[in-house]
Amino acid sequence: MRKLAFLFVLFLTAGMMAKAADVTFKAVAPSAVVMGQQFRLAYTVNAEAKASDLRIPELADFDVLMGPSTSSSMSTQIINGNVSSETAFTFTYILMPKKEGTFNIGAASIKVKGANYTSNALSINVLPPDKAAEAAGGTGSGQSASIGKDDYFVRMEVSDRSVYEQEGFLVTFKLYAARMCGLDNAKFPEFEGFLAQEIEQPNPQWIQAHYNGRNYFTVVLKQTVLYPQRSGKLTIESGKFDAVIRVPTQRKIRSIFDDFADTYDNVKKILVSSPVTIDVKALPSGKPASFSGAVGNFTMTSDINSNNVKTNDAVTIKLKITGNGNIKLIKNPEVVFPNDFDIFDPKVETDVKTTAAGVSGSKTIEYMAIPRYAGDFEIPAISFSYFDPKSATYKTLKSEPYKLHVEQGEGGSSSSPVVSNFSNKESVKYLGKDIRFLKVKDFNFVANNDIFFGSFMYYMCYLVPAILFIVFFFIYRKQVKENSNIALVRTKKANKIAVKRLKNAGKLMKENKKEEFYDEVLRALWGYLSDKLNISQASLTKDNVETELTRYGVDEALINEFMDILNTCEFARYAPAQASDAMDKLYELTVDAIGKMENTIKKQ
């Protein structure tokens, strides 16, 4: 028994020594107080300390009514045989503000076992008294059985009501309450015409705020960064919220201590936020050629894996775009590799974070190509343009051009490439014998008039292959000529490739993979337009697509249908979950639109 007691004391002492090595010193006070009301300022250190070792900053904006009062607590935990113990000392001051405004309380310091530790600083907002409470002749701390029309409401607070297209702004839904209450149901607007990026609210806290002469308890219900997708007057519709408010009643109940306690009823009140209209300005003219819709403030870096490679070795260019703005909608800048390189689809990684300051982070694009022939090549500078809403100007970022030396490698070729229509090669096999032996038996004689030589069929056997050879020769020549026209080949295969991608999108729709489905539909549409119009995807924009389709004689209604599908896909990737029937409808509209487009362009 003595051994067990000794081991327990030993473990307890070791745990306390280990815990003492990690000392924290923290200051706590309410973020907002009302003028004339007292509040607590508490300093807590998780180690044994004395009030005489505490040094607090000057509190010129507050009256110190009492303090410091000292309290302590101790906790011990035993988890899987590991003993941990913590002692905390709290030093509390009672303060009262001298005037209204926002005031900072600097960091305090304390000495623990010869070492100095510093607390965090605080900011306190001193609110004016509640005018409604003053008019009623009270302090506003009591609870009334009635609910006034201004006691509870939800405000939609917008950081900026005049923005550029694709410029982000913050929308905050905040509940104002005379007393803290709950919400049964919250229905936020759909943000039609905007790309919405919601900010996570892990642990919303009630704080006091002054509004229209009254003090309220406020809590943030939702914060969203919105990016307008078109210019003009866009309206954010109202939200609807069901508040549950505890209202005191006249009834009293007897408690177990033989006294009377108040009773409350839960009253539901529907709160509706007012709609807000945003003035969205169109982006100014003079867009650079490398502009593809990026709005915000960005930087760009690029690097290449090597300037000296061998044939059939991969060349990788990594491009990183960093900044704040509509980074998720940025299209990949175009990298122009030499014609003799095999080019692969770029690998894209997006790392973003959404805060009240907007969507910030980075987008990394890796471009890969494989040289097939030796020589010296140059990859031109990569350009990326964006619109800066603060200066209302377009800005262009450029990388350095890369000079590439390609040496002869295994399986490569040092000669110039030859254009061929053949997709694969076949080996030649030797099948014959050197001498065929004479046949000496099992033969039959044929009558003279039955001899095949000189007959009609004999001449037809020569004539038919000759005609077929001439026909196939001209067909082959025509195919070689068409295949040498890359634009024509892309145009012919556009519908086939789009149908293949839409079939894949149909599979993703059945598997209810929403984001992958919309991505695949977007790839099918942009790929089809790129092939049909003979424009690289990096250079495609909604503006030049409309111009080119109009030049091809496509009906305006069909062009608008295509644009609506593109916008729907881009919104749906980041919008809240859509119903499955919306995906079905979009899939049918896309198939129908591509079919109409194919028939229209074929007639031209």
Other C-beta atoms within 10 Å of 291: how many? 20
Q: Are strands 82-97 and 54-55 parallel, antiparallel or unpaired?
A: unpaired
- Rounded Cα distance between 298 and 332, Å, is 14
Q: Which tokens is 393 given?
A: 């100007």
Kindly report the length of the chain: 604
Q: Select the CATH number that applies to the domain covering 486-602 from these four: 1.20.120, 3.30.420, 1.10.10, 1.10.20.
A: 1.20.120
- Rounded Cα distance between 342 and 289, Å, is 25
Q: Does the domain made of 152-252+261-280 have the CATH classification 2.60.40?
A: yes
| Predicted pLDDT of residue 602 | 64
| Predicted pLDDT of residue 446 | 60
| pTM, to two decimals | 0.59
Give the phi and the psi of residue 114 in degrees, each rounded to 5: 85, -5
All residue ranges of the chain with pLDDT < 50 are 14-20, 139-142, 416-434
| Predicted pLDDT of residue 440 | 62
Q: How far is CA 101 from CA 62, 139, 208, 343, in A?
A: 12, 20, 13, 62
| Predicted pLDDT of residue 433 | 43
Q: Does the domain made of 292-407 have the CATH classification 2.60.40.740?
A: yes
- Rounded Cα distance between 224 and 189, Å, is 11
Contact between 297 and 390 under an 8 Å Cβ cutoff? The reply is: yes
Identical fold for domains 152-252+261-280 and 486-602, yes or no, is no
| Predicted pLDDT of residue 426 | 38
Q: Does the domain made of 25-127 have the CATH classification 2.60.40.10?
A: yes
| Predicted pLDDT of residue 133 | 62
Domain ranges in the chain?
25-127, 152-252+261-280, 292-407, 455-479, 486-602
Closest CA to 154 of 228, 216, 208: 216
- Rounded Cα distance between 348 and 518, Å, is 17
Tokens 């307008």 identify what position? Answer: 228
Angle at 583 between CA 579 and CA 587, to 5 degrees: 165
- Rounded Cα distance between 318 and 305, Å, is 8
Closest CA to 164 of 276, 278, 283: 283
| Predicted pLDDT of residue 258 | 55
Q: Which long-range contacts (CB under 8 A, 24 or more apart) does 519-527 make?
A: 519/573, 521/565, 521/569, 521/586, 521/587, 521/590, 522/566, 522/569, 522/570, 524/498, 524/590, 524/594, 525/498, 525/562, 525/565, 525/566, 525/569, 525/590, 525/594, 526/566, 527/494, 527/497, 527/498, 527/501
Compute CA 79 distance to the chain's CA centroid, rounded to the nearest angstrom. 41
| Predicted pLDDT of residue 49 | 84
